[in-house]
Amino acid sequence: MESLWEKDVPKVCFEAMDGNENTDVLIIGGGIAGILCAYKLKNTGVDCMLAEAAEICCGITKNTTAKITIGHGLIYNKLIKRFGEDKARLYLQAQIDAGEEYTHLCRRIDCDYENKDSYVYTLNNRKKIEKEVDALNLLGVKAEFCDSTELPIKVAGAVCVRDQAQFHPLKFIYTIAKKLPIFEHTKVLELMPNKAITDRGDITYKKLIIATHFPVLNKHGSYFLKLYQHRSYVISLKGADNVDGMYVDESDTGLSFRSHGDMLLLGGGGHRTGKQGGCWQELEKFAGEHYKDAQIAEKWATQDCMTLDDVPYIGQYSKSTPEVFVATGFNKWGMTNAMVAANILCDLVQEKSSPHAEVFSPSRTILRPQLAINAMESTLGLITPTAPRCPHLGCALKYNRAEHTWDCPCHGSRFTENGELIDNPATDDKQM
């Protein structure tokens, strides 16, 4: 199913690679993170090249709800407790810088950029909201507590941050990608030191950025333990009352709201990929109860890489791979974190210091409670004696009745009913 963003924008196409190539920096993955990396590196004068196995923005990026905000759920109180005030402030500043850079770029791009207030609400835990407001105020953000909103449901409270933004992601990305050195339909089959083997030839590089959503290099970094994927669903409603702000529930299974033109985008129904959840049925039920005169125009789904501690992994891929870098684990906030990744990696590949690199370092501790959950899911997936299996690491796949796909509960790979690969980290079709 196509997202709203795919309906009204012509694609920008690039040729496939034809023969061997050489570059200083190779970027693998043509989503927003990879494209922003290429954009910043090229504009800095760095020789770079991007290889995409299919077409740019054909994966997760096209299914975003496209909010540009520092309001990443109730994260700042957690960050202060987990990492301390200084690192929480660095995370915040990285997001602020990303938002300002979008503002600067979008002044020159017709991408439906609009300033909107951002709200994170709760249905039942006012105290959580009060703590988040206090945390943001401590970090220097003028956040406000709200006990009523324009939503059709009663909330216990919401934290409001003014002057955030939303935009049309594909209009933005297709514009900045037009003059970049991109090869589409060029699938990387094997990674060797300073060489990528593709189905179109070899690419020799000095440094490598892996921006494939879930990292596809299994030999290093333990990303199969450090990440899991979370699936969520969206419907666009015509004839519903629009909202003037951007709203998200603090709960992983809650609802999100934003408007685009005369359409209301309602998101939710989320669950760990490969598990059961509310899916579109939950959204359709909510719409039937609260927007009785509205019609569903589009519906689509997406998934997000989730880290152990709510902070993305951006930086050196692992301690043993000094020339390889990664951007992953955006925890549902891919718009600002993609720009954060581009800013950090543009510095690191040029061997410059980045003020935010330490906070996002992929080599930070993995001793978090989520690690045990990920390990348990992987173990269960490996010992379940059913077919079909995921070619990534051999876990048993689960059938997703809502989307008619085979999904991996271990690491989030997805396949069509016929076994064709939809989402990574798998790189091949499923094993029957």
Q: Based on the fold, state whether residues 258 and 407 are members of the same structural domain.
A: no
Contacts of 309 (CB under 8 A, 6+ apart): 82, 364, 368, 370
Tokens of 135: 């945390």
- 117 burial class (0-12, 13-18, 19+ CB within 10 angstroms)? middle
431 secondary structure, DSSP code: B
pLDDT of residue 186: 98
Tokens of 111: 């991408």
145 within a domain of the structure (yes/no): no
pLDDT of residue 431: 58
pLDDT above 60: residue 174: yes
Query: For the domain that residue 405 is a member of, what is the CATH number?
Result: 2.102.10.10
Q: Based on the fold, state whether residues 316 and 222 are members of the same structural domain.
A: yes
Domain endpoint, select from 305, 329, 347: 305
Share of the chain above pLDDT 90, in %: 86
Helix (H) or strand (E) holding 359: helix 357-360
Predicted TM-score (pTM) of the model is 0.95
pLDDT of residue 14: 98
In whole angstroms, what is the distance from residue 70 CA to residue 231 CA?
A: 22
For 352, the domain range is 4-64+171-226+309-360
- 352 burial class (0-12, 13-18, 19+ CB within 10 angstroms)? exposed
Tokens of 410: 């271990």
Q: What is the mean pLDDT of residues 363-385?
A: 91
pLDDT above 60: residue 432: no
Q: Based on the fold, state whether residues 412 and 288 are members of the same structural domain.
A: no
pLDDT above 90: residue 151: yes
pLDDT of residue 387: 73
Q: Which residues pair with 260 in a beta bridge?
A: 263
- 75 burial class (0-12, 13-18, 19+ CB within 10 angstroms)? buried
pLDDT above 90: residue 382: no
In whole angstroms, what is the distance from residue 405 CA to residue 192 CA?
A: 32
Angle at which helices 126-138 and 76-83 cross, to 10°:
70
Q: Based on the fold, state whether residues 391 and 348 are members of the same structural domain.
A: no
Phi-psi region of 341 (alpha: psi -120 to 50; beta: other; left: phi over 0): alpha
pLDDT digits 0-9 by tens, 386-419 = 778 898 988 999 999 889 999 999 999 999 988 8
Phi, psi (rounded to 5 degrees) for 282: -65, -40
382 within a domain of the structure (yes/no): yes
430 pLDDT band, cuts 50/70/90, is low
135 within a domain of the structure (yes/no): no
Phi-psi region of 18 (alpha: psi -120 to 50; beta: other; left: phi over 0): beta
Helix (H) or strand (E) holding 285: helix 279-290
pLDDT above 60: residue 178: yes
330 within a domain of the structure (yes/no): yes
Q: Based on the fold, state whether residues 317 and 356 are members of the same structural domain.
A: yes
pLDDT of residue 255: 97
Query: For the domain that residue 207 is a member of, what is the CATH number?
Result: 3.50.50.60
Domain endpoint, select from 261, 284, 305: 305
Q: Based on the fold, state whether residues 240 and 301 are members of the same structural domain.
A: yes
36 within a domain of the structure (yes/no): yes
In whole angstroms, what is the distance from residue 421 CA to residue 427 CA?
A: 7
Q: Based on the fold, state whether residues 189 and 332 are members of the same structural domain.
A: yes
Phi-psi region of 354 (alpha: psi -120 to 50; beta: other; left: phi over 0): beta
In whole angstroms, what is the distance from residue 223 CA to residue 374 CA?
A: 11
Phi, psi (rounded to 5 degrees) for 103: -55, -45
Q: What is the mean pLDDT of residues 17-45?
A: 98
Share of the chain above pLDDT 70, in %: 99
Q: Based on the fold, state whether residues 241 and 294 are members of the same structural domain.
A: yes
253 within a domain of the structure (yes/no): yes
pLDDT digits 0-9 by tens, 223-274 = 999 999 999 999 999 999 999 999 999 998 899 999 999 999 999 999 999 9
200 pLDDT band, cuts 50/70/90, is very high
13 within a domain of the structure (yes/no): yes
Q: Based on the fold, state whether residues 221 and 204 are members of the same structural domain.
A: yes
CA distances from 149 to 67, 118, 131, 142, 194 (A): 18, 11, 19, 18, 53
Q: Based on the fold, state whether residues 338 and 321 are members of the same structural domain.
A: yes
In whole angstroms, what is the distance from residue 101 CA to residue 113 CA?
A: 13
Contacts of 111 (CB under 8 A, 6+ apart): 167, 168, 169, 171, 172, 175
In whole angstroms, what is the distance from residue 317 CA to residue 363 CA?
A: 8
pLDDT of residue 13: 95
The whole-chain average pLDDT of the chain stands at 95
pLDDT digits 0-9 by tens, 325-357 = 999 999 999 999 999 999 999 999 999 999 999
Q: How many domains does the chain have?
A: 3
Q: Based on the fold, state whether residues 32 and 180 are members of the same structural domain.
A: yes
Higher pLDDT among residues 130 and 420, named by residue: 130
Q: Based on the fold, state whether residues 252 and 379 are members of the same structural domain.
A: no
In whole angstroms, what is the distance from residue 221 CA to residue 313 CA?
A: 10
pLDDT of residue 418: 85
92 within a domain of the structure (yes/no): no
